[in-house]
C-alpha cells in the first residue's frame, strides 16, 4: 500500500510551512465560545455551526463553506456556487443562538455573502409581575461579507455587521445600544502538503453606549491550522487546531510637553474577558457522504473543558448538494451539554464549456 498514487495519498507537512502556521495561530489566539457577562454583544462569541463545534471549535484554518462568516471570512473564497446555511444552538438556561448565512460568487474569485445572528433569551421573571415587571432582552447582529481569492494559496475576507442589543422592562425606559463591528481574515491553503491556516480578527468596533452605561465590543482574535492527512475517493482524514483570545485596544491623544514624539499613542489593555481558548479536532469523511468528527476545547481562565463529537450527512439531488450536521459538547465543570444542528444547501457550479 504505497502513498505515491494520484488518487490516494498521505500528506506530510513541511517543517517550515507547519512551524510558520502554528506560530501564526498561537500569536493570534483562539476561537471563542462563552463569555463572563462583562461585555454587551458577547453572544457573538458563541461558537456557531455543528461542523466546527464537532471538531472542538478548531475551524479557523479549515473554514471553507458559508459558515466561514462566523470563523474566518477569508474562507468564503472557497465557495464555487450559491450556498445557504441555517444553524441552531441549544444554549444554557433555556437560551438559544440561531444564525443564517448566504453567499455566492459575484465574479471569478470574488464572493459576496450576508449573515444574521440572533440570541434568544426568554422573558426573565424572577418575581411576580405585580411586584417587579419582567425583563425582555433583544440581541441580534447582521451584515454583509466579502472574500477575494487572491491566488491559488491566499484568500482575504471581511465583513461589516450591525450589532443591536437592548434591555426593556415595563414601566421603565428602554436601555439599548448598537454599533457597527468589523471582521477581517486571511487564509493560506497549500495543496502538497495539504496544509491550511488562517488568522481572523472579529467584532472590532467602538464601545457600545447604553442609557446609563457603556461596554467594549466583543473584539476577538483567533488563529488556526489544518492538515488533511489522507485523501482518496473513499476516505478523507483531517486534523485541526485553533487558539484564540479576547482583545481590548485603547487609543489616546497625548499633548506633547517638550516635543512631538508622543502626539498619538496606542495601548493594549488587559482583556475584559480573561479567557484563552485552545481547541483540537478531527474530521473523517467516508465516501464523501458520512462525516465523523471529534474534538476537545480547553478554556483557560474559566477552567472549563468540553469534549465534543459530531456527525454529518451529505447527499446530492442535482443540481443541489444538501448537508445536515449535528454536534454535541459536554461542559464538564458545569455538568451540562450543548447541542447544535446545522443544515445547508449549495448549488453545484456548472462545468465550464470548452470550445471544440
CATH of the domain at 118: 2.40.160.40
The domain in which residue 194 lies consists of: 10-347
Q: 140-175: per-residue pLDDT in tens?
A: 999 999 999 999 999 999 999 999 988 776 656 677
Q: Which residue has the cell 485553533?
A: 242
Reported as a single tens digit per residue, the pLDDT across 273-292 is 557 899 999 999 999 999 99
- Mean of pLDDT values over 222-245: 96
Structure confidence at residue 7 as a pLDDT band (50, 70, 90):
very low
Is residue 1 in a domain? no
Share of the chain above pLDDT 90, in %: 57
- Rounded Cα distance, 63 and 51, in Å: 10
Q: Does residue 104 lie in a domain region?
A: yes
Is residue 95 over pLDDT 70? Answer: yes
Please give the model's pTM, rounded to 2 decimal places. 0.81
- In angstroms, the CA 161 to CA 304 distance is 29
Residues 341 and 96: their CA atoms lie apart, in Å, by: 12
Answer whether residue 356 is part of any domain: no
| Per-residue confidence (pLDDT) for residue 23, from 0 to 100 | 31
Task: Output phi, psi for 67, to 5 deg.
Answer: -70, -5
Residue 5 within a domain: no
Residue 315 resides in a domain: yes
Residue pair 250/266 in contact (Cβ under 8 Å)? The answer is yes
pLDDT tens digits along 212-229: 777 888 899 999 999 999
- The pLDDT of residue 50: 97
Spatial separation of the C-alpha atoms in residues 49 and 217, rounded to whole Å: 22
138, pLDDT greater than 90:
no
pLDDT at 71 over 70: yes
Distance CA 129, CA 7 (A): 67
Whether residue 353 lies inside any domain: the answer is no
- Dump pLDDT digits (tens) for 47-59: 999 999 999 999 9
Q: Are 265 and 254 in contact (CB under 8 A)?
A: yes
> Taken in order 31, 37, 42, 48, is the CA torsion positive or negative?
positive
CA-CA-CA-CA torsion sign (220, 329, 91, 325): positive
Cα-based distances in Å from 353 to 81, 106, 310: 16, 19, 39
Q: Is the peptide bond before 4 cis (omega within 30 degrees of 0)?
A: no
Please report which residue ranges of the chain form alpha helices under DSSP H. 15-28, 50-54
Q: Tell whether 3 is covered by a domain.
A: no
Sign of the C-alpha dihedral computed for residues 274, 174, 169 and 131 taken in this order: positive
Asked whether the predicted pLDDT for residue 131 surpasses 70, the reply is no
Residue in 303, 294, 305 with CA at minimum distance from that of residue 328: 294
Mean pLDDT throughout 252-256? 45
What is the distance between the alpha carbons of residues 217 and 159, in angstroms, rounded to a whole number?
Answer: 15
149: β partners: 155
Query: What's the total number of domains in the chain?
Result: 1
- pLDDT tens sequence across 23-46: 333 333 333 333 334 567 889 999
Largest Cα span, the chain: 81
Assigned domain for 154 exists? yes
Which carries the bigger pLDDT value, residue 350 or residue 256? 350
Residue 249 — very low, low, confident or very high, per pLDDT cuts 50/70/90? low
Please give the Cα distance from 140 to 175 (Å, whole number): 15
Amino acid at each position: 500500500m504505497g502513498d505515491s498514487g494520484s488518487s490516494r495519498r498521505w500528506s506530510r507537512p513541511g517543517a517550515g510551512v507547519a512551524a510558520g502556521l502554528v506560530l501564526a495561530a498561537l500569536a493570534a489566539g483562539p476561537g471563542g465560545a462563552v463569555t463572563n457577562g462583562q461585555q454587551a454583544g458577547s453572544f457573538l462569541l458563541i461558537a456557531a455551526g455543528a461542523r466546527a463545534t464537532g471538531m472542538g471549535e478548531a475551524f479557523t484554518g479549515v473554514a471553507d463553506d458559508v459558515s466561514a462568516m462566523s470563523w474566518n471570512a477569508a474562507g468564503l473564497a472557497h465557495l464555487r456556487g450559491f450556498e445557504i446555511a441555517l444553524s441552531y444552538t441549544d444554549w444554557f438556561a433555556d437560551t438559544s443562538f440561531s444564525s443564517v448565512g448566504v453567499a455566492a460568487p459575484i465574479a471569478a474569485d470574488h464572493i459576496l455573502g450576508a449573515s444574521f445572528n440572533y440570541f434568544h433569551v426568554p422573558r426573565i421573571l424572577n418575581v411576580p409581575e405585580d411586584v417587579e415587571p419582567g425583563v425582555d432582552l433583544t440581541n441580534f447582529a447582521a451584515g454583509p461579507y466579502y472574500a477575494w481569492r487572491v491566488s491559488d494559496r491566499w484568500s482575504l475576507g471581511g465583513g461589516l455587521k450591525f450589532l443591536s442589543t437592548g434591555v426593556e422592562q415595563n414601566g421603565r425606559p428602554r436601555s439599548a445600544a448598537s454599533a457597527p463591528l468589523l471582521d477581517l481574515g486571511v487564509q493560506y491553503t497549500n495543496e502538497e502538503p495539504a496544509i491550511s491556516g488562517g488568522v481572523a480578527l472579529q467584532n472590532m468596533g467602538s464601545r457600545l453606549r447604553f442609557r446609563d452605561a457603556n461596554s467594549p465590543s466583543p473584539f476577538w482574535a483567533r488563529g488556526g491550522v489544518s492538515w488533511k492527512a489522507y485523501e482518496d475517493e473513499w476516505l478523507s482524514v483531517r486534523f485541526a487546531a485553533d487558539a484564540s483570545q479576547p482583545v481590548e485596544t485603547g487609543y489616546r491623544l497625548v499633548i506633547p510637553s517638550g516635543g512631538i514624539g508622543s502626539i498619538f499613542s496606542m495601548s493594549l489593555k488587559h482583556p475584559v474577558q480573561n479567557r484563552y481558548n485552545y481547541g483540537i479536532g478531527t474530521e473523517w469523511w467516508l465516501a464523501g457522504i458520512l462525516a465523523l468528527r471529534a474534538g476537545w476545547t480547553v478554556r483557560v481562565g474559566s477552567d472549563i473543558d468540553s469534549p465534543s463529537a459530531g456527525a454529518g450527512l451529505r447527499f446530492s439531488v442535482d443540481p443541489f448538494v444538501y448537508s445536515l450536521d449535528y454536534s454535541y459538547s459536554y461542559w464538564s465543570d458545569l455538568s451540562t451539554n450543548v447541542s447544535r444542528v446545522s443544515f445547508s444547501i449549495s448549488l453545484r457550479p456548472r462545468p465550464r464549456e470548452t470550445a471544440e
